[in-house]
Amino acid sequence: MNKPSQRVLKIEMSPLPIFIAVFSFFALSACMSSATTAPQTAAPCSTPFRLFVRQNYNITNCRKLATLGAEFAWELIPGNRSQFQVIFGARLSDDVAWVAWGVNPTRPKMVGTRAMIGVRDLATGLFRVAPYNVTWQTRKRCGLHPNWGIDVEFRNASMEYLSGIDYYAMRATVGLPSAAAMAGSTYNVSRLNHVWQVGYSAEGMEPRIHPVSDLQHFDSKETIDLRTGAIRLQAGRHRRYLRTVHGILSMIGWGTILPVGAIIARYSKFPVEAGYPRWFLAHKSCQLVGYGMGIAGWILGILLGNSSVLYAMKVHRLYAIFILAFATLQVTALFFKPGKGDEYRKYWNLYHHFLGYGLLSVIVINNFKGIAILKPNYTWKWAYIGILACLAGVALAMELWSWIKFMKMKKESNGIIRPNYQVPASSSTYGKAPSTAGGEQLEHK
């Protein structure tokens, strides 16, 4: 008799998933190295926006911001270290209702920001720019208070639509308070914390909350040196890197190695003459390695979600919980499945197979939802589509080969094997076939 305890304790591993995991580790390490050592240099503005600010306002400092497709131009006023001109612009869709830019005296974050917000009345097309103080009440969706508690001046503020380059641009002359006027916090042009946003809803001329399902709105802040243009601190850069790691682990672990294990389990027993004798070891190894990488990505995703509670991706999280629960169930099934002679084995097989296929479908859906949330460049999406296409191509080829092999074997079986029979008494005396227990094998003529 088989001893289940020995089967549980004896864990062998196939080299295939280990190779994939090692390759993924080095790819991830290269990604980490490039992300942590890359200098925080500012990308220059687009040519149309740069020409606009130079020709109309004689401003030479201009750079692209990290999120929301926004651009930022500024010019320090000579002889005055607390005043400067700014132009904030973004190429946005027609349904945009407001744009905002502001400074924070403590650190780059939304709460505490003194901002100027330019609102466009979607009905009349008119613009209005007003200063606002973004408070904790604002974060709790209690609305904004224009001109309330503002210690930063936004003089000559205006907003316009640049039809030639399809931009909304907001400009003003900013006057920062002196250090003596601040209680425990200061503004400094050499280390200025600034925040930017765009929104798509307003009631009249009052802006309403921006989308909370797009992480770009969470990362739209940084610390910049206006004298040199150097980025002192790009808020959210560390989180963006962790999101990248989370995405890579999920796509490779859940979305690549687990399907490879499923393909091995389905097709390695039949297409070759004797089957692949160690298919179960390869299948089990793929599932364990993929499950481990998926778990690591899942834990990282939970930590990222808890760090941005206002940006809860509910559907993505629900899918992730489903994946973890049923992937755990599938992995434990590798060690506690019924024996071959057990009468419940066929029902267990049905449950294990169909749950596995359903789980892979949810994994693919959730990976694409994650890509849509992160909004990386198109390389991510097309790379994953390429991986899925390769897996689907292999599975289709193996499925066709299996059916061809099966039909060929069935045809040969029908032509070679005869059932047991007795020759009737009225038949000819020669050519009688004796009755045997296992049938008689005839030669092809």
Question: Could you tell me which residues are annotated as the binding site for heme b?
Answer: 246, 283, 316, 352
Cβ neighbours of 245 (radius 10 Å): 17
Across the strands, what pairs with 206? 203
- Which residues does the annotation place in the binding site? 246, 283, 316, 352
For 283, what's the count of Cα atoms within 13 Å in the CB-facing half-sphere? 20
Q: How many CB atoms lie within 10 A of CB 60?
A: 11
Rg (the chain; Cα; Å):
33
Q: Which helix (H) or strand (E) holds 259?
A: helix 258-267
- The contacts of residue 150 (CB under 8 Å, 6+ apart) are 114, 131, 132, 133
Q: Which of 389, 369, 371 is nearest to 381 (CA)?
A: 371
Q: In the beta sheet, which residues pair with residue 233?
A: 223
> Which tokens is 435 given?
């009755």
* Three-state secondary structure call for residue 85: strand
Sign of CA dihedral 224, 230, 232, 234: positive
The one-letter amino acid at 79: G
The backbone torsions φ and ψ at residue 377, rounded to the nearest 5 degrees and listed phi first, read -70, 170
